[in-house]
Amino acid sequence: MSFICPDDPDFRICLIRFENLLAIQAVAEEGQWANRWSSEAALRDQVAEKDVVLQTFLREKRDGVVRAHRCLVLFSNREPLGSGGITTLDLPPSLMESFERLDRDSDVRAALLKFFSIAGVGPGALTMVGKTWKGSMERTPTVGSDELALFARRLEVAKRDLDRLVPGRRYYDVYHLIFGIDCGLGGESASRAFHSWMVKRDGSSRPELIWAVPGDRVVACDQPAVA
Amino acid sequence: MSEEENRWAVDLVFERFNQFRHDPSASGCLSGEKSRLADMKTIGAYLPWLQRLHGMFVINRTFTGTCAFFNGFEVGSSRKWTEAFAERLPRGVAAPEGVAWPDLVLSAALGPGFTWAQAPRFTPEQDAVACEGLFTLLNRFLDGSVHFPTADHGFTGITDSLSGDDDVPGGR
C-alpha cells in the first residue's frame, strides 16, 4: 500500500450518486474486498440515499500494477438526520476512473483536501465509522459452540504441528494457516466471530486491522514493548 | 516486523483465541451470514475462487502464505490431499523421501535448488511465478493428470535469471 499525494495522477475527489455507491458495494462484495459494508442492506441501513463524496488516499500495487484504490467516503447518515459519516472503501481503479472528478483545478483540490482533512480528524458531527462489521457487530457474529469446539480442536492440531505446517512461524503465514483451517471447515464463521470478538475486546476504531492485517495490529494493539 | 514482534504476535493470536473460546459471549447461535463458500469443503471447489481472488484469501499473495493457507485448509477439512499431491509432483534425483510438497512445487516451478525455506526472501515477481506454478500443478493434480512436466514447464519469466544457490538472487 502506498499513500496517494494530491499531485499524483490517481488522486481524485469525486461526487457520486448513491446508486454508484451501491455499484461499488456490489463490486466489493463480488471481489470480497476488505473495506466494504457487510451487505447492501447494511449500507442502506447506515447511509442516506444522497450523493456521496470519495477521495482516493491509498493505492495497492501488485507487480507494478495498481490493483485497488482505498478511498475516504463522506456520506450522509440515514439517522440521525443531518449527521454525516466518513469511512473507507476499496474499489478497482477502472471504477474510480469512471467517476467525474470534482477537483479539476488546484484551488478546488486544495479546498476539498482541507475539507476531507478536517472531516477525518475533527470532533464535529462527522465520525469515522466501521462498516464491514457494522451489521454483524450489532448481531454479534457468534459461532455455534459445536463449530467453535471443532475449530479449536483443529487449531490445536495445527499448533502442535506448526513447525511443519508453517516453517519459521511467520505471523502472516500463521494468519493464513488459521484462515485456511476455517475455510477448510467450510465457513470462515469461526474466524469472523473471532475477529468480531477481538474488535470488541480491543476496542479498535479500525476493526478491519485487528485480525486481517496483522502487521498493523502490532501497532494498534495493547503491547507497549512493540508499539 | 522483527523476530521478537513476530513471536509475540503469533503467541498473542493463540492466547487470544483461547480467551475467545472460553468467553461465554462468543458462543451461541450462528450469525446467519455464512460465507458464500460455506459449502465448499474440498480444495477442488475452493481453488477457482482462490486463484481468482488470491489477494482476498492470501492478503500478501506470497508463496509461503498460500502454502500456509493450503496446509490450514487440509487441517480444517480433515481431507488429506497434500501427501497425494506431493507423490505426483516431479521429484528431483536429490530430493529425499518425505520432502515437503512446497519444496517440490518450487523445484518444478522455478527449477531445482529452490526451497520453501528460501521463499520468505522471494521478490514479488518470484512469489508470483511460484504461486502460478503452484496453481497450475494443483489444477493438473485435481484434474487427474498423472504426469507433470519435468522440463520446460512453461513457467517462464524470472526462472532463467535464478540460480539454485542458498540465497535467492534478487530476493528480499
At A100-114, the pLDDT tens digits run 888 877 777 777 776
Determine the structural domain holding residue B139 and report its residue range.
Answer: 37-161
For residue A144, what pLDDT is reported?
Answer: 59
User: Structural domain boundaries of chain A?
Assistant: 2-128, 140-220
For residue A40, what pLDDT is reported?
Answer: 84
Provide the mean pLDDT of chain A: 71
* Contact call for A188 and B124, based on CB within 8 A: no
Among A207, A224, B72, smallest CA distance to A216 is for A207
For residue B25, what pLDDT is reported?
Answer: 62
ipTM: 0.77
For residue A140, what pLDDT is reported?
Answer: 36
* Contact call for B76 and A180, based on CB within 8 A: yes
Q: How many contacts (CB atoms, under 8 Å) link A and B?
A: 205
Least confident of A161-165, A215-219, B86-90: A215-219
Assigned domain for B115 exists: yes
Between B27 and A73, residue with greater pLDDT: A73
Contacts of A106 (CB under 8 A, 6+ apart): none
For A7-38, the DSSP string reads: TSTT--EEEE-HHHHHHHHHHHHHHT-SSS-S
Residue A201 has pLDDT above 70, yes or no: no
At A10-62, the pLDDT tens digits run 888 888 888 889 888 888 877 777 778 878 888 888 888 888 988 887 887 77
Mutate: best of B3, B30, B31, partner A, most A CBs <10 A: B31
Assigned domain for B99 exists: yes
Residue B132 has pLDDT above 90, yes or no: yes
For residue A189, what pLDDT is reported?
Answer: 66
Instruction: Give the residue-averaged pLDDT of B93-121.
Output: 82
To the nearest whole percent, how much of chain B has pLDDT over 90? 18
Residue of A nearest to B11 (CA): A171
What span, in angstroms and rounded, lies between the C-alpha atoms of A34 and A181? 19
Least confident of A46-50, A92-96, A119-123, B72-76: A119-123
For residue B168, what pLDDT is reported?
Answer: 42
Q: How far is A153 from chain B (nearest CA, A)?
A: 9
For residue A199, what pLDDT is reported?
Answer: 61
For B125-156, the DSSP string reads: HHHHHHHHHHHHHHHHHHHT------SS-S--
For residue A130, what pLDDT is reported?
Answer: 47
Q: How confident is the model at residue A122 (pLDDT cuts 50, 70, 90)?
A: very low
Assigned domain for B16 exists: no
Domain count, chain B: 1
Assigned domain for B74 exists: yes
Q: How far is B108 from chain A (nearest CA, A)?
A: 20
Q: Residues 148..167 of B with a Cβ closer than 8 Å to A: which?
A: none
Which whole-number Å values give the CA distances from A9 to A13, A57, A93, A106, A110, in the listed order?
A: 12, 12, 12, 13, 15
Provide the mean pLDDT of chain B: 71
Assigned domain for B1 exists: no
Assigned domain for B29 exists: no
